[in-house]
C-alpha cells in the first residue's frame, strides 16, 4: 500500500474526511482505503486570558490516504464537496514517516529520554553511537553527545535521525 495526498478546502478537513468515509460506506468500498489521516497536534492558545488546547493541522488543506489504487479512490471521492484534486504520485516512505513522527510526538516522549544511548542513522555521522543530552519534543530535535577524535562533540539532530542503540 502507498500513501497519497488529496487536496481539500482548507478548514474543511474533518468534514471532508467524514464525507469520504460515508461515500465509501455507501458505495460498499470500505476496503478501498486503509487509512485516512489528518496530521494534527494540540497547541496551547490564550483566549480571554485563559490557556486552552486547540488542535492545529500540520498541513491545512490536505488529507493523506493509504490505499492500493489511487485511481479507484479518485473515482469515488472526486465529486465530494470539499475535494479539489487528488495527487497521483505516491509519497515516499521517508516523507510519510516524518508526517507520522510528528503525529506521534507522545510516542517519542515515551521512547526517548536524556542519557539514553542512541545510534545515528542519517547524516554525516551515520552509525556513530552517542548519548542524548537534551530533548526538544516540540521541535523534534535532540542534542546527542558523540566521541570524535577522542573528544566529546555535541550534535544537533532531528528525532528521525536516531534510533535506540540497545
* CATH number of 123's domain: 2.30.30.30
Q: Identify each DSSP E strand in the chain by its residue range.
A: 2-8, 33-37, 40-47, 50-57, 62-67, 83-87, 117-120, 129-136, 141-148, 151-158, 162-164
| Structural domain count of the chain | 2
Same domain, 79 and 115: no
Note whether 11 and 71 are same-domain residues: yes
Q: What is the pTM of this model?
A: 0.60
Cβ contact 90:4 at 8 Å: yes
Highest mean pLDDT among 25-29, 44-48, 148-152: 148-152
Measure Cα distances from 160 to 31, 34, 55, 81 in Å: 31, 24, 23, 36
CATH code, 79: 3.30.70.940
60 SS3 class: coil
Quick: pLDDT tens for 76-108: 888 888 899 998 899 888 888 777 776 666 667
Q: Which residue has the higher pLDDT, 3 or 39?
A: 3
Q: Which of 103, 135, 152 is the last residue of a domain?
A: 103
SS3 80: coil
Domain that holds residue 89: 2-103
In this model, does residue 24 exceed pLDDT 70? yes
Amino acid at each position: 500500500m502507498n500513501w497519497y495526498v488529496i487536496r481539500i478546502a482548507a478548514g474543511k478537513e474533518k468534514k471532508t474526511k467524514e464525507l469520504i468515509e460515508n461515500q465509501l460506506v455507501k458505495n460498499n468500498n470500505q476496503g478501498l482505503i486503509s487509512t485516512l489521516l489528518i496530521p494534527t497536534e494540540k497547541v496551547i492558545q490564550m483566549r480571554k486570558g485563559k490557556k486552552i488546547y486547540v488542535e492545529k493541522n500540520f498541513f491545512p488543506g490536505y488529507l493523506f490516504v493509504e490505499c492500493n489504487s489511487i485511481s479507484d479512490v479518485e473515482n469515488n471521492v472526486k465529486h465530494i464537496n470539499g475535494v479539489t484534486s487528488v495527487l497521483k504520485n505516491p509519497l515516499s516512505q521517508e516523507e510519510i514517516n516524518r508526517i507520522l513522527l510528528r503525529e506521534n510526538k507522545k510516542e517519542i516522549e515515551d521512547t526517548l529520554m536524556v542519557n539514553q544511548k542512541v545510534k545515528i542513522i542519517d547524516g554525516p555521522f551515520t552509525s556513530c553511537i552517542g548519548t542524548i543530552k537534551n530533548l526538544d519534543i516540540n521541535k523534534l530535535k535532540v542534542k546527542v553527545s558523540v566521541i570524535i577524535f577522542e573528544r566529546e562533540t555535541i550534535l544537533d539532530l532531528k528525532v528521525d535521525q536516531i534510533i535506540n542503540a540497545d
